[in-house]
Amino acid sequence: MASSRVIIVFVLPVIFSIIFGSAVMADILQKPGRELNMWPMSFSEGSSSHNSSLKIIGLSNQYLVSEPIEVQVQINDSSFICGDLYITIYTTGTNEVVTQGGFFDQCLKNGNSFPTNDKFSKVITAPGSYKIVADIVSTDSSNISTSGTFTVK
């Protein structure tokens, strides 16, 4: 009698959860444009897609240690409506994150530059070579990325 209760209370819910979860996942993955991306936030040198529809505006080749890096991102993609903008600065060679800015719910209104009603402005205090990466993740989960390099003296 006790073993049947153990099966009903502990084993059957696990079996039903696995079956139900598998059915839901299979249904979702059958829809067009869906894919299973297990590591969406990983970064490697070759993973960012350089797209001509995205440009970093205001990036100089060289900055002084006390000078702020102020940039905007311009998008020339008519299918983009709203999304999140992430601007990250890495140390060239080591890919160590130096600083990052996130601007959420950015929508095209009176132009095509981001961030809207805000600005990305960071001061880097260590001289060296840096890589800046701008990623826009739209509300339909597509990702547009571009990058540039600069030095701080």
Grouped pLDDT means (10 residues each) for the chain, 153 residues: 77 92 85 62 42 80 90 82 89 87 81 77 90 87 86 91
- φ, ψ of residue 112 in degrees (nearest 5): -135, 30
Q: Give which of 153, 136, 151, 119 is closest to 51, Cα–Cα.
A: 136
Kindly state the tokens that stand for 74: 């311009």
Which pLDDT belongs to residue 37? 60
Condensed to tens digits (0 to 9), the pLDDT of residues 105-143 reads 888 776 677 777 778 888 998 899 999 999 988 877 778
Instruction: Tell which CATH classification among 2.60.40.10, 1.10.10.10, 3.30.1020.10, 2.60.40.2550 matches the domain 54-152.
Output: 2.60.40.2550
Say if strands 62-63 and 120-123 run parallel, antiparallel, or are unpaired.
unpaired
What residue spans define the domains of the chain?
Answer: 1-36, 54-152
> Strand, coil or helix: what is 26?
helix
